[in-house]
Amino acid sequence: MVKKPATMHHFFIILLILLAGCKFPHVSSRQHNVFSRMRDGVVHVGQFTQDADGEIGQLLGSGFFVDHEGTVVTAKHLLKNAEEESLYIKYIPIQNRNKFHILRVKIIYQHESKDLAFLKAINCPSQVRPLSLIQKLDSLASLGGEIVLIGGFPRLGSETVDYPIVRRAIISSTEFTDAQEDTPLLLLDLEGAPGFSGSPVALERSGKVVGVVTGSVKRRIADRGYYPQGATPITLSDYDEAVRSHP
């Protein structure tokens, strides 16, 4: 009896059987929830400036809601040359994702040594979705190797991306310090990008924020120019201190 050669039809049947037993990477519901909350909690921090055509918005960086009263955390260095009366935040409201919402903000607290600042939105609606800060950190070393998500409003090319972008990285070192403030710094296995300063760094496993992006760590070694992203550690006690200073 002569065997018939296998047809393409038979080949695909065998392939489907083999694929059925394979496991492919996928996003769990927990990971998706962390991603969604990150996307909904981040804000674009900017200031209004005047030109020949009137008032225009200028991107300073990113930030995130930390309570339902409109308190926003960002990086202190973003505000260095900003006019406080011209500051605003822009975000996508969860009840209507087809348009941005803009709120004026005021500075309520700037940390003495850390690159942390707290803003308060004026007439903030209650529908904002805040991110949760980690309650405490017994040691920064315990964060080494943690997978984290970073969300913000990057500046790509000559155009501002007016939609939150979420990036993924690991905390690659907890031994660095901020060169200017001499305070602890989390080093992320992620190259810096303009516009991400002030972004939250949240643990992928829980969604708890453990850091605020301060910018690229520019410590050139020889002729190498890889500048990874650095983040200022943050806990709930930093928020409590800010709120106490501005009841």
The domain locations on the chain are: 33-130+241-245, 140-235
The domain covering 140-235 belongs, at the CATH homologous superfamily level, to: Trypsin-like serine proteases (2.40.10.10)
DSSP state string for 178-240: -TTT--EEEEEEEE--TT-TT-EEEETTT--EEEEEEEE----BTTB---EEEEEE--HHHHH
Number of H helices, E strands in the chain: 3, 14
Report the C-alpha gap between 200 and 182 in whole angstroms. 21
Alpha-carbon distance of 92 to 76, in angstroms, equals 23
pLDDT tens digits along 91-109: 888 777 777 889 999 999 9
Cβ atoms of 75 and 61 within 8 Å: the answer is yes
The CATH code for residues 33-130+241-245 is 2.40.10.10
Q: How far is Cα of residue 237 from the mean position of the Cα atoms in its chain?
A: 20
Per-residue pLDDT of the chain (247 residues; tens, 9 = 90+): 555 555 656 666 665 555 555 555 555 687 888 888 998 999 999 998 765 555 667 889 999 999 999 999 999 999 998 888 999 999 888 777 777 889 999 999 999 989 999 999 998 887 889 999 999 988 889 999 999 999 998 876 555 556 788 999 999 988 877 766 678 889 999 887 788 999 999 999 999 999 999 987 765 444 556 678 899 999 999 999 999 987 7
- 66: which 2 tokens? 């930390």
Supply the pTM of this predicted model: 0.82
Element (H, E) at 50: strand 42-51
Decide whether 33-130+241-245 matches 140-235 in CATH topology.
yes
